Chains A and B, each alone.
Chain A
Amino acid sequence: MAPSTRPLSPHLSIYRFTLTMTMSIVHRATGIALYGGTLLLVLWLVAAAFGGGFFDFVAWLFGTWFGQLVLFGYTWVLFHHMLGGVRHFIWDFTKGMDATGRELLVRLQLGASILLTLVVWSIFVWFK
């Protein structure tokens, strides 16, 4: 095999999935989702800037059950990626890197991201 400039990631299927590894993949996946999801913000801002029928269309789109589902998912993705970043901050200080510490951190992250999403949607959408 010819030497490459830097080692590439080996194929996923050869690994047994562990909790921290899965959450590492989820962190990347949520990052990519947020990257693409910036288009939702762009759409909303452009609609507001040009107003009229286009704004009504975007408002209707975000209000449909599918639009609401996407926005709900986007809320969780945002909180989960944010808390994943906080986990990395903790690891940067070499805290919580042992087996029990890192497992606890990812469990807390998943629980907190779900809880935060439900709390925000409960207060501001479902029971406002």
Chain B
Amino acid sequence: MSASKPTQAQIQNPTTHYGNAKASTRRFITQRVTGALNIAFAVFMVWFVVSLAGRAPVEMIELVRNPFVALGLAVMVVNVAIHMRNGMRDTIEDYFDKGEHGLAMLANNAFVLFFLVVALGAIAKIVFWG
């Protein structure tokens, strides 16, 4: 992130450049790539939920233990984590200034990390320990 603060005149003039152009472009592309993958995962998720709705836990464990399903779920969790963190950063940037921004991003990272660890942990438990 750029250290120098833009002046009010710079902000008002659309021809000036400030902020981190490289990181912003990278985040733009990341959001598109993970988003496109999520279309496939949405179909996967519908199939997954539908084949399990109202079934006994044994049947769910049996399905998740299939290596293709487990791998699909794990990759989906990682992809979703990247997409949701990036999207929430976008929201945070619109409503919080520097300072508050850092705190909000800390909360964002904590939530995404919690989701990532618990979801992957649960999948690993099902696959390796039943």
Contact = CB atoms under 8 A, between A and B. Distances in A.
B5 interface: yes
B72 interface: no
Contact of A3 (B6, B91, B95): B6
Interface string B86-129: 01100101111110000000000001000100110111011000
Interface string A10-33: 000000000000000000100110
A99 interface: no
B119 A41 contact: yes
Interface residues of B, number: 42
B57 A28 contact: no
B64 A8 contact: no
Contacts of A5: 5-6, 97-98
Contacts of B111: 35
Contact of A46 (B18, B80, B122): B122
B38 A46 contact: no
Given A3-B8, A8-B94, A82 B39 contact: yes
B65 to A, nearest CB: 11
Interface residues of A, number: 38
Interface string A28-48: 100110110011011001111
Given A42-B118, A92-B32, A124 B93 contact: no
B75 interface: no
A9 interface: yes
A46 B118 contact: yes
B5 A3 contact: yes
A4 B7 contact: no
Contacts of B82: none
Interface string B46-90: 100010011001001100100000000000000010001001100
Given A31-B87, A38-B119, 18 more contacts: A3-B5, A5-B5, A6-B93, A8-B94, A9-B94, A28-B91, A31-B91, A38-B115, A42-B115, A42-B118, A42-B119, A45-B123, A49-B123, A51-B57, A82-B42, A85-B39, A124-B53, A125-B53
Interface of A: 1, 3-9, 28, 31-32, 34-35, 38-39, 41-42, 45-51, 55, 59, 63, 78-79, 82, 85-86, 88-89, 92, 120, 124-125
29 contacts: A3-B6, A6-B6, A6-B11, A6-B97, A28-B91, A31-B84, A31-B88, A32-B88, A38-B80, A38-B119, A39-B115, A42-B118, A42-B119, A45-B118, A45-B123, A46-B122, A48-B60, A49-B122, A55-B57, A59-B54, A78-B42, A79-B42, A82-B39, A85-B36, A88-B32, A88-B35, A89-B35, A120-B46, A124-B46
